[in-house]
Amino acid sequence: MPLEGKTLLLREERAEDQPLLVALRNDLETQAWTMPLPPDYTLPMYMRRFEAREFSYRRDDARFIIEIRKSGAAAGYITYTALEQRWEATIGIMVARPFWGSGTAQEACEVLLEFLFQQLGLRVVRLWTHSGNQRAVTLAAKLGFQVSVRMRRAGYKDGQMIDNLMMDLLRVEYYARRSDLVDALPPLG
């Protein structure tokens, strides 16, 4: 069952989504990380990963395809990883260039955050980016994330040294900005 937003769905990934995932990972702007060599992800690599996945009742990670409701177009994907039950997870997102500036990334993040805090009861959600990825830093700040770790001059991109950033959003901060939702969990000491 997909997670539903106003204009998009976060749905399970399918075999036919793999070419998009390869294209996103091979585009240095959409994957937004520094790399010493150009990425060389291939469709056979992604198909092997997709076909090798195993079903588990304990999901400590998930990848959702961001699908635009009106057109059915796949706009990118969003993930959570490193889930510690009722405690924390790390999120990541890649959106195809035609959807940049459309609000797609923000809505996808809002939908996933609501799921992680409301349904999974997490206490903190984290993400990693870098100081050279202004779109990601700005979006994270709009969502309420704050820089919690700055690894100064940890990467090199476009001829400049950049900082790696871990940003996080605490449960109490999430509910403070979402007055339309009720936090059903008691606060911790």
Average pLDDT over residues 84-88: 93
Residue 85: inside a domain, yes or no?
yes
pLDDT of 56 > 80? The answer is: no
Residue 186: inside a domain, yes or no?
no
Distance CA 141, CA 20 (A): 27
Residue 51: inside a domain, yes or no?
yes
pLDDT of 32 > 70? The answer is: no
Residue 59: inside a domain, yes or no?
yes
CATH number, position 103: 3.40.630.30
| Tens digit of each residue's pLDDT (9 = 90 or more) over 133-184 | 999 999 999 999 999 999 999 888 878 899 999 999 999 999 999 999 999 9
Distance CA 173, CA 109 (A): 15
Residue 187: inside a domain, yes or no?
no
Q: Domain total for the chain?
A: 1
Distance CA 13, CA 160 (A): 35
Residue 107: inside a domain, yes or no?
yes
Residue 137: inside a domain, yes or no?
yes
For residue 110, the enclosing domain spans 3-177
| Tens digit of each residue's pLDDT (9 = 90 or more) over 90-134 | 999 999 999 999 999 999 999 999 999 999 999 999 999 999 899
Residue 184: inside a domain, yes or no?
no
